[in-house]
Amino acid sequence: MDDGGAGTRLAQVEQDLARLLVTLADGRREGRESLSLARLAKRCALPMSTLLRYLSVLTDAGWISLEDGQRGLRLARLTDAGVSQCDSLR
């Protein structure tokens, strides 16, 4: 039965979410506890609207926290639960 591409879209979303978590984990290893949303979107190659949608899901899951940084920037960082989840992806 044809799912209309839903399976393909779901696989892409899963890959995007994993890439987002890994990108934040890589930032931590580089000494950046958090990344601006603009930098995160660029590193993940995601449109800002998609990034914001994904961040909402990951924040609700408790894997990412959003905070206000200097100069009015919004910052994203992995929580301890997010670090554990990211470790399980590797």
With cut-offs at 50, 70 and 90, classify the pLDDT of residue 90. Answer: low
pLDDT in tens, 3-46: 667 888 888 998 999 999 999 999 988 999 899 999 999 999 99
* pLDDT one-digit tens code per residue, 48-66: 999 999 999 999 999 999 9
Q: Supply the range of the domain harboring residue 85.
A: 3-89
Is residue 87 within a helix (H) or strand (E), and if so which, with residue range?
Answer: helix 80-89
Sign of CA dihedral 83, 85, 89, 90: positive
55 Ramachandran zone, left/alpha/beta (phi>0; psi -120 to 50): alpha
State pTM to two decimals.
Answer: 0.84
Q: How far apart are the first and last CA of the chain?
A: 33
Taking alpha carbons only, the member of 57, 66, 45, 47 closest to residue 85 is 57
Tally of structural domains, the chain: 1
57: domain CATH number?
1.10.10.10
